[in-house]
Amino acid sequence: MVVTDPDVLGGYRQDRAFDPDAGTALALVRPTATEQVAAVVTWAHEHRVPVVPRGAGTGLSGGATAQDGALLLSTERMRAITVDPVTRTAVVQPGLLNAEVKRAVAEQGLWYPPDPSSFEICSIGGNAATNAGGLCCVKYGVTTDYVLGMEVVLADGTVVRLGGPRLKDSAGLSLTKLFVGSEGTLGVITELTLRLLPAQPPQSTVVATFPTMTAATEAILAITGALRPSMLEFMDSVSINAVEDELRMGLDRNAAGLLVARSDAPGEHAGHEADIMLAACEKAGATEAFRTDDPEEGEAFCAARRFAIPALERKGPLLLEDVGVPLPRLGDLITGIADIAERRQVLVSVIAHAGDGNTHPLIVHDPNNADETARAHLAFGEIMALAIGLGGTITGEHGVGRLKKAWLPDQVGPEVMALTRRIKDALDPYGILNPGAVV
Amino acid sequence: MVVTDPDVLGGYRQDRAFDPDAGTALALVRPTATEQVAAVVTWAHEHRVPVVPRGAGTGLSGGATAQDGALLLSTERMRAITVDPVTRTAVVQPGLLNAEVKRAVAEQGLWYPPDPSSFEICSIGGNAATNAGGLCCVKYGVTTDYVLGMEVVLADGTVVRLGGPRLKDSAGLSLTKLFVGSEGTLGVITELTLRLLPAQPPQSTVVATFPTMTAATEAILAITGALRPSMLEFMDSVSINAVEDELRMGLDRNAAGLLVARSDAPGEHAGHEADIMLAACEKAGATEAFRTDDPEEGEAFCAARRFAIPALERKGPLLLEDVGVPLPRLGDLITGIADIAERRQVLVSVIAHAGDGNTHPLIVHDPNNADETARAHLAFGEIMALAIGLGGTITGEHGVGRLKKAWLPDQVGPEVMALTRRIKDALDPYGILNPGAVV
């Protein structure tokens, strides 16, 4: 079970944050059962060896970056799932991919909503550890809204079960919710009980391009003020062109921004809502606006949006942001990001889960150009500072990990950091769980 | 601000659990601002004086019962609210009643879903402290699903702000969610940021009576298996008759059970869903089944259900249960409760938020009859043990308070109790916050 081969370890050294400061781990373990996780953590606790838990390694904040002398604990081989259509819940092990969970529950006519762009390659355990979001969150909420219970291995190896397949449970502290989003710093999640919904109805889709960012943000606010779209995504000019370079789907390369908006209201109501969104885009000054009730055609536009990050990655290494603001400040955030990009002379492409104010500014830079890389990192920090100043968050759905840790105190303040530290120390007194992440 | 008049204090000695073991408080404070709460808690912390926070005093588990020598901290005078229709959020102080929050946001065309039966008299702060539920939870979730942020005064008087008006926020531990449902044991909530929805569409309503409990539970499973009702409530024969005694609305006094089911699907889809639910009731053997699209008529049947507890309280003091089970075990729970009632020779009326498996067995007893009272208390405990045995919870939405504390370890186990204790000790090392509740 224990792997020490440096070649294998190398493949587990980083997640998709590609932290250049990743350390060299002691060993890798890939347990298949909770008891093995408990045995590993008990041993690590006794010997004060750090443990870095990881799922599929697709994290974007460096939460799974290897540390010197640490045990890497990958949950990739814990892949069981049981679906109960009567309670509309699924019990899943953490190593299953989000897409595999979606497919397994779909076989029973059910739906697990949270849908990070990386849903085909990210693990459900990692989703819970980061409180991952996605495209449908604007209407359906984030991972924590779907976690009813879990099994978790604590820092001393104790296994506890929290919550269960019950929509309502006020018995004791809300510990399940505390572990969601704790990024492996409080325990290792070995099983999740997920709330499911009936299959999503077919969606109607609106795609619109805008000549200016102002027009696009006006359309966003008009849409969210009128109804609750099941998706409302934004791509800027740079990302439109990057996607078009790869997919050749006929996107307008001259547009300043593109919106993809969807409705999954029942029956013909999806079309009615799409009409309202189409009219809002036209009123805001869309150069082109297009509506389809064809699910396949709609899916193609969503695929374009999901493909934005991979397409931009082909242009060069990215520093990937995840800042969010209250919706009315979205325009200020986007304008402010453009100012930062200009001041620091770096290319910043903005894509966004526009409907919930969560944006992904992507800072493109050449790692062989030390000066540009330095300016990119300055912009990275300044964008977070900007979001904080607008009443926002440094991370909407990726987590703090190691990459964003230095900015967390600026967002939450010293009292909340002290409170966080008290909980961390109470649950992991020797600090063996994912040291260096979050706190 | 500090009240020591015993007559006034007497009115704050208990909540609606009417715990006979309530103590005598030192004094009552009714702050109007966060700074006053902080000053009170700072003083209490320095002098190691227990603080019992309370909202409107409508709790049913004794979470706000006065303790000897404690300060009673009532938030009833903290009643501000600001509604932001663009972000669809409201910032509210804890003393506002749930119904007042609903009304204030409705003025902006918005909806705060959680609706405990006591919504006209319970406070929003108490709702957050107990993670309160209600009738719409079967489709819309519980209080925690609507709390995006809060301001909370910690045990040492420190004021912290957690979360904010953002649908997505993965920055640091999920502390907001930890404080929801903590029943005043970790801090005093002084402000809440609530997520709102667009106004609920008009509902179609189905009412059906059943000759047997078996037929009623069959209908419940058929309905929840087919769709997501916006309400699915159950009343047994005793509660039907108690309500009919008071309201004279023509309920069938011979029925074994009554279901009220609603749909709020858009437009004519509410009617379609109501038809499906009506057919499910008829197929399960309903003696009468009736459907209305008239909101007022539908509301009258919901009012009957909401009035069940007050109507039964007029028959005599109640021991009010709040046990929940995974939905497929609902029939076993109801049968088991009948067995317990027969064995202990006490009258137990069962009403339920049937769609989410959360039941309220109401144990009627004569407090002047010591033997009957003893048997009622035995039944009270046995019903919780039954629920635990069925994979359920001792409290779905009322909280543990002091009344159910003895059964919490049986549900969650010693390891979770130890984990709970570690968090409690880390956040409230002198144990001044709501001592004797939950842990």
pLDDT single digits (tens) A378-412: 999 999 999 999 999 999 999 999 999 999 999 99
Average confidence (pLDDT) over B302-326: 90
Q: How many residues does chain B have?
A: 439
CATH of A81-198, one of 3.30.465.10, 1.20.1740.10, 3.40.50.2300, 3.30.450.20: 3.30.465.10
CATH of B316-407, one of 3.10.28.10, 3.40.50.740, 3.30.70.2740, 1.20.120.80: 3.30.70.2740
Name the residue in chain B with its Cα closest to that of A267.
Answer: B269
Interchain proximity A396–B170, CB inside 8 Å: yes
Q: Tell me the percentage of chain A whose pLDDT exceeds 70.
A: 100
**What residue spans in chain A does CATH classification 3.30.70.2190 cover?**
204-310
Question: Which three-class secondary structure state does DSSP give residue A102?
Answer: helix
Average confidence (pLDDT) over B113-121: 95
Instruction: Work out the pLDDT band at A301, boundaries 50, 70, 90.
Output: confident
Residue A317 has a pLDDT of: 85
Q: Tell me the percentage of chain B whose pLDDT exceeds 90.
A: 92
CB-CB neighbours of A340 under 10 Å? 21
Q: Which residues of A touch B197 (CB under 8 A)?
A: 228
Query: Which residues numbered 141-160 in B keep a CB inside 8 Å of some CB on A?
Result: 141-142, 144-145, 154, 158-160
Residue A167 has a pLDDT of: 87
Q: Is B434 on the interface with A (CB under 8 A)?
A: no
| Closest residue by Cα to residue A269 from A198, A204, A225, A224 | A204
Interchain proximity B425–A426, CB inside 8 Å: yes
Give the lowest-confidence range in A299-303, A329-333, A375-379, B39-43. A299-303
Query: Sign of the C-alpha dihedral, residues A89, A94, A100, A104?
Result: negative
**What residue spans in chain A does CATH classification 3.30.43.10 cover?**
2-74
Q: A21: buried, middle or exposed (CB in 10 Å: 19+, 13-18, 0-12)?
A: exposed
* pLDDT exceeds 90 at position B326: yes
Residue to mutate among A146, A154, A170, with most B CBs inside 10 A, is A170
| Closest residue by Cα to residue A379 from A393, A360, A366, A361 | A361
* pLDDT exceeds 80 at position B1: no
Instruction: Work out the pLDDT band at A116, boundaries 50, 70, 90.
Output: very high
pLDDT single digits (tens) B148-169: 999 999 999 999 999 999 989 9
CATH of B2-74, one of 3.40.50.460, 3.40.50.9100, 3.30.43.10, 3.30.1490.20: 3.30.43.10
**What residue spans in chain A does CATH classification 3.30.465.10 cover?**
81-198
Interchain proximity B177–A174, CB inside 8 Å: yes
Interchain proximity B170–A228, CB inside 8 Å: no
Q: What is the ipTM of this complex?
A: 0.96
Question: What does DSSP assign to residue A329?
Answer: G
Establish, for the pair of chains A and B, how many residue pairs have beta carbons separated by less than 8 Å.
Answer: 259
The arrangement of strands across the sheet holding B89-92 comes to: B81-84, B89-92, B187-195, B147-154, B159-163
| Closest residue by Cα to residue B320 from B377, B257, B374, B368 | B377
* pLDDT exceeds 90 at position A313: no
Indicate the pairing of strand B257-263 with strand B231-236.
antiparallel
Instruction: Work out the pLDDT band at B303, boundaries 50, 70, 90.
Output: confident
Chain centre distance of CA B283: 32
pLDDT single digits (tens) B330-339: 999 999 999 9
Instruction: Work out the pLDDT band at B316, boundaries 50, 70, 90.
Output: confident
Q: Which residues of A touch B185 (CB under 8 A)?
A: 173
Q: Which residues of A touch B85 (CB under 8 A)?
A: 225
Residue A79 has a pLDDT of: 98
Chain centre distance of CA A303: 17
Q: Which residues of A touch B324 (CB under 8 A)?
A: 166, 168-169
* pLDDT exceeds 80 at position A1: no
Interchain proximity B180–A177, CB inside 8 Å: yes
Residue B301 has a pLDDT of: 87
Min Cα distance B62 → chain A (Å) is 14
Instruction: Calculate the average pLDDT of chain A.
Output: 96
pLDDT single digits (tens) B86-96: 999 999 999 99
Q: B368: buried, middle or exposed (CB in 10 Å: 19+, 13-18, 0-12)?
A: exposed
Residue B199 has a pLDDT of: 95
- φ, ψ for residue A44 (rounded to 5)? -60, -40
For residue A383, give every residue at least 6 positions away whose Cβ sits within 8 Å of its Cβ, in sequence order, or none: A321, A323, A336, A337, A340, A348, A361, A363
**Angle value at C-alpha B95, between B92 and B97, nearest 5 degrees:** 85
**Angle value at C-alpha A23, between A424 and A122, nearest 5 degrees:** 70
Interchain proximity A395–B169, CB inside 8 Å: yes
CB-CB neighbours of A276 under 10 Å? 18
pLDDT single digits (tens) B349-361: 999 999 999 999 9
Instruction: Work out the pLDDT band at A187, boundaries 50, 70, 90.
Output: very high
Interchain proximity A438–B172, CB inside 8 Å: yes
Interchain proximity A396–B133, CB inside 8 Å: no
For residue B254, give every residue at least 6 positions away whose Cβ sits within 8 Å of its Cβ, in sequence order, or none: none
Q: Tell me the percentage of chain B whose pLDDT exceeds 70.
A: 100
CB-CB neighbours of B259 under 10 Å? 32
Instruction: Work out the pLDDT band at A20, boundaries 50, 70, 90.
Output: confident
Q: Which residues of A touch B198 (CB under 8 A)?
A: 227-228
Interchain proximity B170–A399, CB inside 8 Å: yes
Q: Which residues of A touch B398 (CB under 8 A)?
A: 170
Name the residue in chain A with its Cα closest to that of B180.
Answer: A174
**What residue spans in chain A does CATH classification 3.30.70.2740 cover?**
316-411
Higher pLDDT, B388 or A328: B388
pLDDT single digits (tens) A345-375: 999 999 999 999 999 999 988 889 999 999 9
Question: Which three-class secondary structure state does DSSP give residue A369?
Answer: coil
**What residue spans in chain B does CATH classification 3.30.70.2740 cover?**
316-407
pLDDT single digits (tens) B11-57: 999 999 999 899 999 999 999 999 999 999 999 999 999 999 999 99
Give the lowest-confidence range in A136-140, A308-312, B79-83. A308-312
Q: Which residues of B touch A190 (CB under 8 A)?
A: none
Q: A49: buried, middle or exposed (CB in 10 Å: 19+, 13-18, 0-12)?
A: middle
Q: Is B396 on the interface with A (CB under 8 A)?
A: yes
Q: Is A411 on the interface with B (CB under 8 A)?
A: yes
Name the residue in chain B with its Cα closest to that of A130.
Answer: B170
Q: Which residues of B touch A265 (CB under 8 A)?
A: 266
Average confidence (pLDDT) over B178-192: 98
User: How far apart are the C-alpha atoms of B36 and B64, rounded to whole Å?
Assistant: 20
- φ, ψ for residue A171 (rounded to 5)? -85, 100
Instruction: Work out the pLDDT band at A198, boundaries 50, 70, 90.
Output: very high
Min Cα distance B377 → chain A (Å) is 19
Q: B52: buried, middle or exposed (CB in 10 Å: 19+, 13-18, 0-12)?
A: buried
> Is it true that domain A204-310 has CATH number 3.30.70.2190?
yes
Q: Is A370 on the interface with B (CB under 8 A)?
A: no
Domain A316-411 belongs to what architecture? Answer: 2-Layer Sandwich (3.30)
Residue B91 has a pLDDT of: 98
Point out which residues pair with A163 in neighbouring strands. A149
